[in-house]
A and B are shown apart, each in its own frame.
Chain A
Amino acid sequence: NAGVMQNPRHLVRRRGQEARLRCSPMKGHSHVYWYRQLPEEGLKFMVYLQKENIIDESGMPKERFSAEFPKEGPSILRIQQVVRGDSAAYFCASSSSGGAYEQYFGPGTRLTVT
């Protein structure tokens, strides 16, 4: 049973470009969470999605960031017009239901903005 998959593992973008980060949850999981880890810091919640719905986006920056989890395919975290401050590790986690307290984490995507 494959775990949570994230790709790419490493992504380099120039300032002003767009970054797309993908997350495939564990098989049978329909709840996805995105977290961001800035250098030397802990993980910070960004957004919680179920299939085709955003449940909680209270941790998302108001501009340039968006997330989706379509009926088919992976969840996407999209960052438009990236800036150097967006450089971080972005982690996706999934759970089988909202009430399932355990989230399973992917290996993360390391975004570097040059």
Chain B
Amino acid sequence: AQTVTQSQPEMSVQEAETVTLSCTYDTSESNYYLFWYKQPPSRQMILVIRQEAYKQQNATENRFSVNFQKAAKSFSLKISDSQLGDTAMYFCAFMNPTSGTYKYIFGTGTRLKVLA
């Protein structure tokens, strides 16, 4: 069974600094998708970035980028120039499209606080 592990329950960063959130996963599949979601206090799940496992190039979305290490099964999220609005819970998620169910498997989350 696939699992997703986020080993940092809480992190903090100074405004304008860079922070990296870690995520590891376990799977025997070669084709899958990985996601980072942001959950602010409103509880709305907001997609931050996604990565297809077959793509070697790391995904980037403005200030957000990932370091995808397929062999190590690692998928960390880097937030550059942190802003107060980045304060939220961040969840890493895994999806195996060959399973036929397409369900997401989430990690337990990292609570990020950006300090002024």
Contacts and interface: CB of A to CB of B under 8 A. Distances in A.
A95 B97 CA distance: 13
Interface residues of A, number: 26
B115 to A, nearest CB: 22
Interface stretch (B11-19, B41-49, B58-66, B73-81): B41-49
A101 B33 contact: yes
A45 B103 contact: yes
Bin chain B's interface residue count.
20 to 34
A59 B44 contact: no
Interface in B97-111: 97, 100-109
Interface of B: 33, 37, 42-45, 47, 50, 52, 91, 95, 97, 100-109
Interface of A: 31, 33, 35, 41-45, 48, 55-56, 58-59, 89, 91, 93, 95, 98-99, 101-103, 105, 107-108, 110
